[in-house]
Amino acid sequence: MRVRRGTAVAAALVTALVPATAAAAEPGAGIGDPYFPSYGNTGYDVGHYDLRLDYRPDTDRLTGTATLVARTTEELDSFTLDFLLDVDSVRVNGRPAEHSSEGHKLTVEPSRTVAEDRQMTVVVKYSDHPSTVGWGDVPSAWHRTDDGAIALGEPEASWWWFPANDHPRDKATFDVRIQVPEGYKAISNGELTGRQTRHGKDIFLWRQDRPSTTYLATLAVGDYEVHEDTTASGLPVYNAYSPGLDELAGPARASIERGAEILEFQEESFGPYPYNALGGVVAGPDADLGFALETQTRPVYSHAFFGRGSNTYVVAHELAHQWWGDHVSVDTWQDIWLNEGFASYAEWMWSEYEGEGTAQELAEFTYDAYPADSAFWTVPPGDPGADDVFHASVYDRGALAVHALRVAVGEEDFAEILRTWQEEHAHGNATVAEFIDLSEKISGKDLQTVFDTWLYTPERPDAAPGAAEQGPSTMSAPAEPESWDTIQRNRELFHEGGH
Ligand code: ARG
Ligand code: ZN
């Protein structure tokens, strides 16, 4: 499901960014992302992925059959998928097809040309040891653990476990059937719709019936301790804790199990929760993750977030992404501020709710944390560059940009902008330019200077947004917000595991 962008201006922008050559289904050509030109594919749109997998934790053997239900957007005598694993066979519309692999591209040549605007069903059978497979400098998204593995990465993750049109612009629903040795758990996104034990295997059926980008699909296999529940509003909850957490299990549970409450709080600002399941997976030290990721309905967290006690801030961050990144997804990776700026700001909002420091206080502390000559200010969050999509600036200055907007337009318009954005781009993609347009439309203000200052200028703005006029004041320095340490620690962790 590739969702078209709203405005003519935005459409013109896309045309300008996509090199003409990307339109042809040339092997290696991507969907036209300015930061990651080889990612994704043209010529078709996937509507649904059906993945039938078997995983052996002892040998790291993953065997799979992936069925992609797609629609062609042009006539195809060949097309590509993003995938690194060894492929046994490919069929297109029931007929065996030629296939070859190069880099992260699997090229498929259907035995008959598929006409434009037709349904195309692609079946890929494969088997490999994902932990042995890599591509260039790209960090592997396959994290093997003592008792299994976790598939998790951004911007790329599917390459290690299913063939995909791996770009946020192509969203699809998912069915994942995963078979593991008896006694192990296998966790993916959405709702657990079935579970059975047969011939010494446990089988889990997961269903994500709302569109998801490919990097937001995850798989975790291991000896997890599971807490299943239902929220007051009827959402099924599935939380999983690695057995390796030991003394961190308490703090992890004290944080993750507050998910329903955090979600209720966030619904007041962002609108109704867009999915029909909720949960989280907490990895143990053996996963060596170091980061968390907002995988749809079920974020995955490194144990490290709970190393200093409970941390509801990281949960607020990942759950806010369910709206900011998952429900409304970036159109290109340059739009990453729409994900990280708002998820980081959601930590400040949660701090206000918890009475552990206001967004204004956190904005001032964040601004002061980076001296004017720090390299931090040279990375504009509106265009951080492909190597820096998870730079501290995208998070901290990104949150400052959101606060600057709030200060500029006032509480009421700020609230309306956030909600309207979610409504207008429900289950779709959007750009920063569209966000700026909407903010100006709702507030009736010219906000160009505000956004230029906070998103695009490679230097430190004059003062924190909303900070009281500086004068030769006798005021004592404001007290450090109680949430400051935890939020700062979250920043360090997000960046450590980065690209
Ligand atoms: N989107 C994730 C988050 O902010 C960050 C993932 C960063 N990836 C990484 N390898 N550090 O929650
Ligand atoms: Zn984030």
Rounded average pLDDT over 197-201: 97
Residue whose Cα lies nearest atom 10 of ligand 1: it is 498
**3-state SS track over 181-230:** ECCCEEECCCEEEEEEEECCEEEEEEEEEEEECHHHCCEEEECCEEEEEE
Query: 388 CB less than 6 Å from ligand 1?
Result: no
d(CA 290, CA 288): 6
Q: For this structure, is 318 an active site residue?
A: yes
Give the tokens for residue 249. Answer: 């299990």
**Six-digit token string for 105:** 């591209």
Q: What percent of the chain clears pLDDT 90, i.e. is strictly above it?
A: 91
The region that residue 403 occupies, defined by phi over 0 for left and psi between -120 and 50 for alpha, beta otherwise, is alpha
- The pLDDT mean for the chain works out to 93
Question: Which residues on neighbouring strands pair with residue 192, listed in sequence order?
Answer: 206
d(CA 35, CA 337): 14
pLDDT band for 495, please (50, 70, 90 cuts). Answer: confident
Ligand 2 centroid–CA 338 distance in Å is 10
Tell me the pLDDT tens digit for each residue of 274-302: 999 999 999 999 999 999 999 999 999 99
Closest CA to 493 of 351, 366, 392: 392
Ligand 1 pocket mutation pick from 142, 491, 492, 494 by most atoms within 8 angstroms of CB: 494
What 299-305 contacts at long range (C-beta under 8 Å, 24+ apart), as own/partner pairs, is: 300/150, 300/152, 300/218, 300/220, 301/252, 301/256, 302/493, 302/497, 303/242, 303/244, 303/245, 303/248, 303/252, 304/493, 305/255, 305/489, 305/490, 305/493
Contact partners, residue 39, CB within 8 Å, separation at least 6: 30, 31, 33, 82, 155, 156, 166, 167
- How many helices and strands (H and E) does the chain possess? 12, 21
Q: What mean pLDDT is predicted for residues 165-173? A: 98
pLDDT, position 343 = 98
Q: Are 421 and 328 in contact (CB under 8 A)?
A: yes
Amino acid at residue number 176 = V
CB 316 within 8 A of CB 270: no
The ligand minimizing its distance to the Cα of 299 is 1
CB 166 within 8 A of CB 74: no
Contact 140, 160 (CB under 8 A): yes
What is the DSSP pairing of strand 87-92 with strand 95-102? Answer: antiparallel
Ligand 1 centroid, distance to 318 Cα (angstroms): 10
What separation in Å is there between the alpha carbon of 77 and the centre of ligand 2? 39
Between CA 279 and CA 74 the distance in angstroms is: 39
pLDDT of 468 reads 78
As a whole number of angstroms, the distance between CA 50 and CA 204 comes to 13
Task: Please give the number of the atom of ligand 1 that sits closest to the Cα of 317.
Answer: 12
Residue 57 reports pLDDT greater than 80: yes
The protein residue with its alpha carbon nearest to ligand 1, atom 12, reads 293
CA 267 to chain centre: 19
How far does residue 358's CA lie from ligand 2's centre (Å)? 20
Which member of 154, 318, 356, 361 is catalytic?
318
398 within ligand 1 shell (Cβ under 6 A): no
Strands 201-212 and 172-181, by their bridges, are antiparallel
Nearest to 422 by CA among 307, 303, 498, 342: 342
Between CA 206 and CA 221 the distance in angstroms is 13
Which protein residue's CA is at the shortest distance from atom 11 of ligand 1?
Answer: 498
Q: How far is the CA of 339 from the centre of ligand 2 (A)?
A: 6
Q: What is the pLDDT of residue 297?
A: 98
Question: 397 CA distance to ligand 1 centroid (A)?
Answer: 16
pLDDT in tens, 298-346: 999 999 999 999 999 999 999 999 999 999 999 999 999 999 999 999 9
Q: Which ligand is nearest to the CA of 498?
A: 1
Rounded distance between C-alpha atoms, residue 473 and residue 476, angstroms: 8
Q: Is 292 in the pocket of ligand 1 (CB under 6 A)?
A: yes
Residue 109 exposed, middle or buried by CB count within 10 Å (0-12, 13-18, 19+):
middle
Instruction: Out of 216, 291, 489, give the residue to mutate to test ligand 1, the one with the largest number of ligand atoms within 8 Å of its CB.
Output: 291
Atom of ligand 1 nearest to the CA of 495: 11
Q: CA dist 468 to 283, 324, 463, Å?
A: 43, 30, 9
Atom of ligand 1 nearest to the CA of 340: 4
Cβ of 494 closer than 6 Å to ligand 1, yes or no, is yes
Does the 330-496 domain belong in CATH 1.10.630.10? no
pLDDT, tens digit, for every residue of 336-390?
999 999 999 999 999 999 999 999 999 999 999 999 999 999 999 999 999 999 9
- pLDDT tens-digit series, residues 186-198: 999 999 999 999 9
Choosing from 293, 313, 396 the residue with most ligand 1 atoms within 8 A of its CB, the one to mutate for a pocket test is: 293
Q: Mapping DSSP to helix (H, G, I), strand (E, B) and coil, where does residue 74 land?
A: coil
| CA distances, 471 to each of 218, 463, 468, 474 (Å) | 52, 12, 9, 9
Q: Could you state, in order of their start, the residue ranges of all structural domains in the chain?
A: 330-496
